Amino acid sequence: MPGATALDDLAETFDLLGDWEERYRYVIELGQALAPLADAERNPDTKVSGCASQVWLVHDPVRDGTLHWRGDSDAHIVRGLIAIVLDLYNGLTSDQVRDFDAQGAITRLGLSEALSSQRANGLASMIARLRADAAQTIR
């Protein structure tokens, strides 16, 4: 499953980095690698509620039965968290999105201990948005 493979890769990298200062730098680098959204894509329909920072997630058309999103934020670390979420979820089918253990992934990466409650809530809101998009996708 693509999400599990992405999780294994991220967990391995996080383990190699060691401390959270290095991990945060890596998360920020992941966010910097995201392609920015067009201004028109930053709108009320794509904005994720429940995030302290501004977060937008764009659900692209289904390709080959798999789902894909793009995202952006006005905060560096949050943008990196978007990159992680997209890495875990892009390329999954709607059933795989539904079945993916997001909380297990967050715990495995150590994010549940490292994030402030506001960022953790924002991360949960992003995942909830992806799941809602997947649930609305015609299979």
Active site residues: 51
Q: Is 42 exposed, middle or buried (0-12, 13-18, 19+ CB in 10 A)?
A: middle
d(CA 135, CA 114): 30
Ranges of beta strands (E only) in 19-139 are 55-63, 66-73
Closest by Cα among 46, 18, 12 to 133:
46
Q: Which two structure tokens, joined as six digits, stand for 50?
A: 């429940």
